[in-house]
């Protein structure tokens, strides 16, 4: 079980709120022979803070940071299941399922935005406190999950050689903020489930190969076994090792200009298709009514796309090579 420290970062806002925090700047002049402010004497003189009353609270203006009074400690549950089989004396094959889910994750969103539950429209009347540009609310309503299929082949060290290969096929989903910054990934406060999408750290496929090879040179080895001891210290005892990773890229999202009255929200571009085959040979100009919408929030979830990685590049080369071979075969 793991615990996050994000709540400690949010606690600072309870002591820097208007009426509670006072900023005092002190500086000694370089032209004076003696310092005006001396540490331990008058660097931090007593300050008078504002008395917090209902009238004071009702007249606060500007941006507001609000904190859930019932914050909980986030937690993660993990589980796995694996099957192993040995091939020969030194080879091991393993297939495993790995999963986890996290709850009570920290999340921030504008509790004063113009969203409504059953529509993408930005409704001005939905704004609860018109005197504030936004109310950034910090709470623990975030969730995430991870599921993966892991295949491994391991050859134990034998005759100066060992080999390990791992393949992971996984998916990570989340609706929480994934950094310690002051931003937010939430677009609609009225529909928190609408923000659930790929996590920023999601990598669909990854293949890692590592090997260690003791070169067969020197005394007691296959080559140069009778070499002079002095030369053996130079030519013998060498090893080669490598770790190679092929993976798809991380997730990313496409943002769009803010065409609503909301301020502190994550504005994403509309999604017109699933991004695979449904867009083939389609004229996007037929979608102009959707592209020209005003004062509407996006229909897209967070992090719906992922960047190209080495895995995708190799797959593209393979597809192009196969296409060329089919063309040559057809011509022949």
* 62 is a domain residue: no
Per-residue pLDDT at 140: 85
Cα–Cα distance for residue pair 302/250, rounded to 1 Å: 13
Residue 50 is given by DSSP the state P
| Residue 182: strand, helix, or coil | coil
| Residue 169: strand, helix, or coil | strand
Structure token digits, residue 137: 């609310």
Closest CA to 172 of 203, 133, 205, 134: 203
Cα–Cα distance for residue pair 173/196, rounded to 1 Å: 7
Residue 7 is given by DSSP the state H
Per-residue pLDDT at 329: 45
Q: What pLDDT digit, counting tens, does each position of 265-308 carry?
A: 667 777 766 655 555 545 554 554 544 444 566 777 777 776 66
Q: What pLDDT digit, counting tens, does each position of 220-242 carry?
A: 777 777 777 877 787 777 888 88
Q: How far is CA 199 from CA 3, 74, 92, in A?
A: 19, 17, 32
Rounded to two decimals, the pTM is 0.69
Structure token digits, residue 183: 């931003």
- List the beta bridge partners of residue 99: 79, 147
Closest CA to 161 of 206, 208, 245, 222: 222
* 220 is a domain residue: no
* 19 is a domain residue: no
Buried b (16+ CB within 10 A) or exposed e, 277-304: eeeeeeeeeeeeeeeeeeeebbebbbbb
Per-residue pLDDT at 326: 47
* 174 is a domain residue: yes
| Residue 210: strand, helix, or coil | strand
Name the region of 303 (left: φ>0; alpha: ψ -120 to 50; beta: rest): left
At 18, is the pLDDT very low, low, confident or very high (cuts 50, 70, 90)? low
Cα–Cα distance for residue pair 107/139, rounded to 1 Å: 6
* 217 is a domain residue: no
* 135 is a domain residue: yes
Q: Which domain holds residue 155?
A: 71-204+248-331
Q: What pLDDT digit, counting tens, does each position of 88-109 carry?
A: 888 999 999 999 999 988 888 8
**With contact defined as beta carbons under 8 Å apart, do 209 and 314 qualify?**
no
Cα–Cα distance for residue pair 110/106, rounded to 1 Å: 14
Per-residue pLDDT at 324: 47
**With contact defined as beta carbons under 8 Å apart, do 173 and 158 qualify?**
no
Q: How far is CA 249 from CA 166, 200, 270, 305, in A?
A: 17, 10, 22, 10
At 157, is the pLDDT very low, low, confident or very high (cuts 50, 70, 90)? confident
* 52 is a domain residue: no
pLDDT exceeds 50 at position 3: no
Per-residue pLDDT averaged across 9-15, rounded? 63
Cα–Cα distance for residue pair 119/16, rounded to 1 Å: 36
Per-residue pLDDT at 94: 95
Number of domains in the chain: 1
Cα–Cα distance for residue pair 100/95, rounded to 1 Å: 17
| Residue 173: strand, helix, or coil | strand
Per-residue pLDDT at 292: 47
* 123 is a domain residue: yes
Radius of gyration of the chain (CA): 30
**With contact defined as beta carbons under 8 Å apart, do 138 and 182 qualify?**
no
Beta strands in the chain (DSSP E): 64-67, 75-87, 91-110, 135-158, 161-174, 197-198, 205-214, 239-247, 251-252, 305-306
At 256, is the pLDDT very low, low, confident or very high (cuts 50, 70, 90)? confident
Per-residue pLDDT averaged across 249-266, rounded? 72
């Amino acid at each position: 079980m793991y615990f996050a420290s994000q709540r400690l970062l949010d606690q600072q806002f309870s002591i820097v709120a208007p009426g509670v925090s006072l900023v005092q700047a002190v500086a000694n002049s370089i032209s004076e022979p003696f310092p005006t402010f001396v540490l331990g004497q008058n660097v931090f003189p007593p300050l008078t803070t504002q008395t917090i009353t209902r009238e004071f609270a009702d007249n606060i203006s500007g941006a507001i940071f609000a904190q859930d009074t019932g914050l909980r400690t986030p937690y993660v549950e993990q589980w796995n299941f694996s099957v192993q089989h040995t091939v020969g004396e030194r080879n091991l094959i393993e297939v495993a399922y790995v999963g986890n889910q996290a709850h009570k994750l920290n999340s921030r969103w504008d509790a004063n935005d113009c969203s409504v539950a059953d529509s993408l429209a930005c409704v001005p009347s939905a704004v609860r406190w018109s005197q504030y540009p936004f109310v950034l609310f910090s709470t623990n309503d975030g969730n995430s999950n991870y599921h993966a299929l892991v295949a491994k082949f391991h050859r134990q060290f034998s005759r100066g050689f060992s080999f390990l290969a791992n393949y992971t096929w996984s998916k990570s989903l989340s609706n929480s903020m994934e950094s310690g910054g002051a931003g937010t990934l939430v677009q609609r406060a009225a529909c928190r489930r609408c923000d659930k999408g790929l996590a920023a750290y999601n990598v669909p496929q990854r293949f890692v190969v590592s090997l260690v090879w003791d070169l067969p040179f020197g005394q007691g080895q296959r080559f140069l076994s009778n070499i002079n001891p002095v030369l053996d210290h130079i030519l013998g005892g060498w090893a080669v090792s490598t770790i190679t990773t092929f993976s798809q890229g991380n997730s990313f999202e496409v943002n769009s200009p803010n065409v609503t009255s909301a301020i502190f929200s994550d504005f994403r571009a509309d999604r017109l298709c699933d991004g695979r085959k449904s867009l083939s040979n389609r004229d996007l100009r037929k979608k102009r009514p959707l592209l020209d919408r005003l004062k509407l929030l996006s229909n897209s979830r967070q992090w719906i796309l992922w960047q190209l990685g080495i895995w995708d590049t190799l797959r593209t080369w393979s597809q192009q090579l196969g296409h060329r071979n089919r063309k040559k075969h057809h011509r022949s």
